[in-house]
Chains A and B, each alone.
Chain A
Amino acid sequence: MKKDIILSGVGGQGILSIATVIGRAALAEGLQIKQAEVHGMSQRGGDVQSHLRISSSEIHSDLIPRGAADLIISLEPMESLRYLEWLSAEGWIVTSTVPVINIPNYPDEETLTKELEAQPHVIALDADALAREAASPRSANMALLGAAAPLLDLDAGLLEEGIRAIFARKGEAVVEANLAAFRAGYETAKKQTAR
């Protein structure tokens, strides 16, 4: 088993929480993990990414080679395209469609949608709306993780345990909201991939 995943988004969106949940589930399954993060230099509002590698055999590099990623999970549509060169020919993009427009030259939405639709394997969903309907708009990152879950080859129960663990200190209501968002994302993705 080997999954190389690029996580991307805009600083402050919560990609590291996604990485932490996947990491915990992989650890519980006894897999090897490497996860390179970007910290510092006030990344708030700037682009952020993380390379997450899980495997049943030894992982050497902390960085994913170009063309090797199985999955890009992105909380922002333009950011999902920033790392296309890392995606393998059979790789999937799972992205939220909600743009974060904090720069003057952000591409227009139609061009962006077309570019995403041109990719061979895409799950695109409004993670904010899904999270809002399920429980709370602040759980968009867990809705997106839910959408990626069918492609992860990890036990969904272990992912839910990971969500419980990282939100436990914020109280049961926050845990339940994040689990609801995760499940909503999961169901939506299953419908999209079944088509």
Chain B
Amino acid sequence: MPKRELLLGDEALALGALHAGLSGVFAYPGTPSTEITEYIQSHPLAAERNIHRSWSSNEKTAMEEALGMSFVGKRAMVCMKHVGLNVAADAFVNSGMTGAHGGLVVVVADDPSMHSSQNEQDSRFYGEFAFIPTFEPATQQEAYDMVQHAFELSERFQIPVLMRLTTRMAHSRAVVEIGEARKENPLSYPQSARQWVLMPGNSRVRYRSLIEDRARLEQEAVESPFNRYDEGPDKRLGIIASGIAYNYLMENYPEGCPYPVLKISQYPLPKELVRHLAETCGELLIIEEGQPFIEQAVRGVLPALMKIRGRLTGELPRTGELTPDSVRTALGLAPHRAHAASQIVVPRPPALCQGCGHRDMYTALTEVVREFPDGKVFSDIGCYTLGWLAPFHAIDTCVDMGASITMAIGAAHAGQHPALAVIGDSTFTHSGMTGLLDAVNEGANITVVISDNLTTGMTGGQDSAGTGRLEQICAGIGVDPAHIRVVVPLPKNREEMKRILREEIAYHGVSVIIPRRECIQTAKRHAAAKNR
């Protein structure tokens, strides 16, 4: 009997990659993708083979590191959340142009419904845009099997492959049948060396071959074991369901779906299969998790020859993740009989932990900012974004990784004073350092608070790239050491923190204040490990 394990989608994918002969995983933490890298970090096979598995500074450096490993013939994987792909986009789009040598799989976990993100972008658009074939598993077993298939395809076509997960796939467990581990690749070098130097003359040649490969990749998708055409007796309706949406469809037909169904888990979109379904059926219903990627491709702009229903026509919700219930409604089935919702339940939003250093930082900061008629606080991505909520109401913006410092610069140039930036230590090394260099070069009058908890807290306490070196980094960038101030954010130090904040706001130029105290969650974990 094959070995069976209960695994998260993230973990099944990670194990599939290990078993595919992975030589390195490159990633920056981001919900819902973090557990892929963490699983590899804790797996004995990774230690035995000494697979590269430490965190990168950000998604772009991770993507480029993986591309370098692929160049020398080994199998590499990059993992990130959907907005991380924006950070890695330059490297990602151009990796389609260079192609891959050793298998290169880029895993991107999308977060429809924005459980833990600032938008619901759908990474399949990036795959299409960069001419990179894309996979989208529907089950944990597929995640395990598919990543091995993806590495093989990547090497056969010498191109990176995108694996798109969504929150419910990433963070749901199921029983997975496990196979054997393949060996790692030996070092080797690309045959087509020219295309790795993206000078215009080389790029123009490569671009034509990339477009030609697209047709062959589409044929792969037509014949893919992960795309399936299931006949159904009732031809009034044909259904296209991609990735995890297929599960919600089948949940509503325990005895089998009466309509023909095209399940799609591999792209480019297999147009031949879509046309066959359309010729067979009277109407189409398109069910997909995320944005209407397939629906837009099938529908186009001009009046359609047939009725097409989906997220764009309102049968399915235009935003947010699908549920078995929203799919049920779109299928025209009567809702299940359910209890009425309780009227006494109130929301219970997440909050900064009691005893967290960010709390002490915000208490001091808000008291000082209130002393000015129009103080503005530009903040960033991390636990400290919760400072927008009660009781602090401390921040005015949160946009993308690193935008606190740069937005403060722009506002200061427009005459804003005080212009404060609040950023965490890990976000600072991810994307804040270049902004700080701008501030120094431009002589911007801003006050930067790097709230240092010595970890990447929001995603569960992963290593932070600049731990122990933040003052050196800021001084190296050119901040005057007299205006790099370190303080321990504790209630007893509140007056000291306020004094430092006032002094640095009064200083005309770039100052950096570093309130530093370990995240209480990682501190508890470290204490428990010591006592064992």
Contact = CB atoms under 8 A, between A and B. Distances in A.
Interface of A: 10-11, 23-24, 27, 32-47, 59-68, 78-79, 81-82, 84-89, 102-103, 105-107, 111-112, 115
A102 B346 CA distance: 12
B335 interface: yes
Contacts of B248: 60-61, 63
Given A27-B6, A43-B350, A82-B345, A37 B335 contact: no
A111 B346 CA distance: 13
Contact of A46 (B8, B249, B350): B350
A89 B248 CA distance: 22
B247 A33 contact: no
Contacts of B345: 78, 81-82, 107
Given A60-B247, A61-B324, A82-B342, A66 B336 contact: yes
B247 A61 contact: yes
Given A45-B350, A46-B348, A65-B328, A60 B172 contact: no
B336 A68 contact: yes
B175 A33 contact: yes
A68 B337 CA distance: 8
Contacts of B521: 44
B115 A62 contact: no
Interface string B324-343: 11001000000111111110
Nearest to B250: A60
A63 B168 contact: yes
Contacts of A27: 4, 6, 175
Given A36-B171, A39-B35, A61-B247, A107 B340 contact: no
B335 A66 contact: yes
B34 interface: yes
Interface in B231-281: 244, 247-252
Contact of B32 (A40, A64, A68, A81): A40
10 contacts: A23-B173, A34-B172, A35-B6, A35-B172, A39-B32, A42-B386, A62-B247, A63-B323, A66-B338, A78-B348
A44 B459 CA distance: 12
Nearest to B248: A61
Contact of A10 (B249, B340, B341, B348): B348
Interface of B: 4, 6, 8, 31-32, 34-35, 115-116, 168-169, 171-175, 244, 247-252, 323-325, 328, 335-342, 344-353, 383, 386, 457-460, 521
Contacts of B324: 61, 63-65
Contacts of A78: 344-346, 348
A70 to B, nearest CB: 13
A40 B328 contact: no
B328, B348, B352: most-surrounded residue (chain A CB, <10 A) = B348
B172 A67 contact: no
B353 A34 contact: no
B335 A67 contact: yes
Closest 5 CB pairs of A and B: A40-B31, A67-B338, A46-B350, A67-B336, A61-B251
Contacts of A66: 325, 335-336, 338
B116 A40 contact: yes
Given A24-B6, A34-B172, A115-B342, A41 B323 contact: no
Contact of B336 (A32, A36, A65): A65
A23 B346 CA distance: 30
A95 to B, nearest CB: 12
Contacts of A64: 324
A106 B34 CA distance: 33
A35 B509 CA distance: 53
B243 to A, nearest CB: 12
A4 B342 CA distance: 20
B340 A44 contact: no
Given A33-B173, A38-B115, A40-B458, A86 B338 contact: yes
B35, B250, B337, B350: most-surrounded residue (chain A CB, <10 A) = B350
B174 A34 contact: yes
B31 to A, nearest CB: 3
B168, B340, B457: most-surrounded residue (chain A CB, <10 A) = B168
Contacts of B349: 46, 103
B172 A62 contact: yes
A42 B250 contact: no
Contacts of A105: 346
A60 B263 CA distance: 14
Contacts of B386: 42
Nearest to B252: A65
Given A60-B248, A81-B344, A67 B339 contact: yes
B337 A89 contact: yes
Contacts of A36: 168, 171-173
